[in-house]
């Protein structure tokens, strides 16, 4: 069986679709790992724990995701929900890292 990754438009059967989904999921986790690395960097760089939560920046990040989703004709309302969870999880992670670094 050939488990070669194909782009969606090149898939001709469900096996290829599943390989594509699984490959993409692994890539998403790699990107999340990088994103959370930036949260670790922010925790290291910020000298005041009270500036970890930035509601203006949070709104900007979510709005950027919605704009990008709209441009790609993706379900932007659901993307906004996903990004809300992502940003809140990132904030919680950064707070934990901030505390861990300074313990």
pLDDT tens digits along 8-44: 999 999 999 999 999 999 999 999 999 999 999 999 9
Whole domain around residue 85: which residue ranges? Answer: 10-101
Q: Alpha carbon of 6 to those of 15, 16, 19, 73, 89: distances in Å?
A: 11, 7, 8, 21, 31
The per-residue pLDDT for 58 is 98
Return the structure tokens found at 84.
Answer: 């809300």
* Structural domain includes residue 16: yes
Return the structure tokens found at 24.
Answer: 């993409």
66 CB burial (10 A radius; 0-12, 13-18, 19+): middle
How many domains does the chain contain in total?
Answer: 1
Return the structure tokens found at 30.
Answer: 């790699």
* Structural domain includes residue 73: yes
* Structural domain includes residue 2: no
* Structural domain includes residue 59: yes
* Structural domain includes residue 25: yes
- Pick 79 or 2 by higher pLDDT: 79
pTM beyond cutoff 0.85: yes
pLDDT digits (tens, 9 = 90+) for 40-50: 999 999 999 99
What separation, in Å, do the N-terminal and C-terminal C-alpha atoms of the chain show?
A: 51
């Amino acid at each position: 069986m050939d488990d070669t990754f194909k782009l969606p438009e090149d898939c001709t059967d469900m096996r290829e679709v599943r390989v594509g989904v699984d490959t993409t999921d692994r890539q998403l986790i790699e990107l999340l790992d990088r994103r959370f690395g930036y949260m670790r960097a922010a925790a290291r760089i910020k000298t005041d724990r009270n500036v970890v939560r930035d509601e203006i920046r949070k709104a900007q990040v979510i709005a950027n995701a919605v704009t990008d989703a709209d441009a790609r004709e993706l379900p932007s309302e659901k993307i906004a929900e996903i990004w809300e969870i992502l940003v809140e999880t990132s904030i919680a992670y950064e707070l934990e890292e901030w505390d861990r670094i300074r313990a």
